[in-house]
Amino acid sequence: MHHFHGGCHCGAIAVEYQTGIAPEETTPRACQCSFCRKHDARALSDPAGRLIITVHDETRLERYRFGLRSADFLLCRKCGVYVSAFLDDGDAAFGNVMVNVLDDRARFPDATPIDRSGEDAAGKTARRRAQWTPATLRILAQIDARPRRNRRVCAGFRTHRYKSRHNPPCRWNRGLSKGGAWSVTIFPG
Ligand SMILES: [Zn+2]
């Protein structure tokens, strides 16, 4: 299994992508829709893989929808990076990952242009269920019960990713063990 990490530029959204396919053997897709062309997006998925998207700051998560509005295009509101397209499909969820957000992006080939302008919403959903990666979207929220004057935003979430609680506590949230905690919202529910 190959294990890739990445995320948006400012660190608010992190991704973890597991796949049995080596980077050199992948065929990233360059969707030719107007949105993907503006981002020069290279999309990757593996139905036998696993995708975990962790949002450390929900206020920075944009679930952009356009066109047939059949999926969420996850962008960072702070740094503007397009991370993933995500289909919340009830009991399951599927997503793709943008090669450009992976730390190892240089190992992947150039993308092949794909025109999907003829697809309807049902066709898009069927293709995504079949082709995208089983995915989980985790949204971490810091519950801070300390007096407002003592609250600080943690600047260290890059190093604390995938953890529901900072361990060890960073310099911004040492007091949180007394008055705060992390809640985690997970999609699919
Ligand atoms: Zn960002």
CATH code, domain with 83? 2.170.150.70
> Beta 61-64 vs 50-55: how paired, if at all?
unpaired
* Average confidence (pLDDT) over 66-76: 95
pLDDT at 177: 46
The model carries a pTM of 0.80
Let me know if residue 112 belongs to a domain: yes
pLDDT at 140: 87
| Rounded distance from Cα 159 to ligand 1 centre (Å) | 15
| 158 — pLDDT class (breaks 50, 70, 90) | very low
Question: Do the Cβ atoms of 97 and 3 come closer than 8 Å?
Answer: no
| Rounded distance from Cα 75 to ligand 1 centre (Å) | 8
Residue 137 φ then ψ, to 5°:
-110, 115
| Rounded distance from Cα 57 to ligand 1 centre (Å) | 9
Can you tell me the distance from the alpha carbon of 64 to that of 69, in angstroms, rounded to the nearest whole number? Answer: 9
Let me know if residue 116 belongs to a domain: yes
Let me know if residue 85 belongs to a domain: yes
The tokens describing 141, both together, are: 């929220």
> Could you tell me the residue range of the domain that residue 59 belongs to?
2-138
Q: How far is CA 53 from the centre of its chain?
A: 4
Let me know if residue 169 belongs to a domain: no
| Rounded distance from Cα 14 to ligand 1 centre (Å) | 9
The CA–CA distances, whole Å, from 62 to 9, 11, 26, 112, 188 equal 14, 14, 28, 27, 17
Task: Give every CB contact of residue 122 below 8 A, 6+ residues apart in sequence.
Answer: none
- Of all residues in the chain, the percent with pLDDT exceeding 70 is 78
Domain count of the chain?
Answer: 1
* Average confidence (pLDDT) over 121-126: 96
| Rounded distance from Cα 119 to ligand 1 centre (Å) | 31
Evaluate if residue 154 carries a pLDDT over 70. no
Let me know if residue 97 belongs to a domain: yes
Q: Coil, helix or strand for 104? A: coil
| 186 — pLDDT class (breaks 50, 70, 90) | confident
Q: How far is CA 113 from the centre of its chain?
A: 22
Let me know if residue 124 belongs to a domain: yes
Evaluate if residue 86 carries a pLDDT over 80. yes
Let me know if residue 74 belongs to a domain: yes
Label residue 163 left, alpha or beta by phi (over 0 means left) and psi (-120 to 50 means alpha).
beta
| Rounded distance from Cα 16 to ligand 1 centre (Å) | 15
| Rounded distance from Cα 154 to ligand 1 centre (Å) | 15
| Rounded distance from Cα 15 to ligand 1 centre (Å) | 12
| Rounded distance from Cα 8 to ligand 1 centre (Å) | 4
| 141 — pLDDT class (breaks 50, 70, 90) | confident
pLDDT at 152: 54
pLDDT at 183: 73
- Furthest C-alpha separation in the chain: 56
pLDDT at 143: 64
| Rounded distance from Cα 182 to ligand 1 centre (Å) | 20
| Rounded distance from Cα 70 to ligand 1 centre (Å) | 23
Pairwise pLDDT comparison (140 vs 54), residue with the higher score? 54
| 144 — pLDDT class (breaks 50, 70, 90) | low
* Average confidence (pLDDT) over 123-128: 96
Let me know if residue 28 belongs to a domain: yes
- pLDDT, the chain, mean: 85
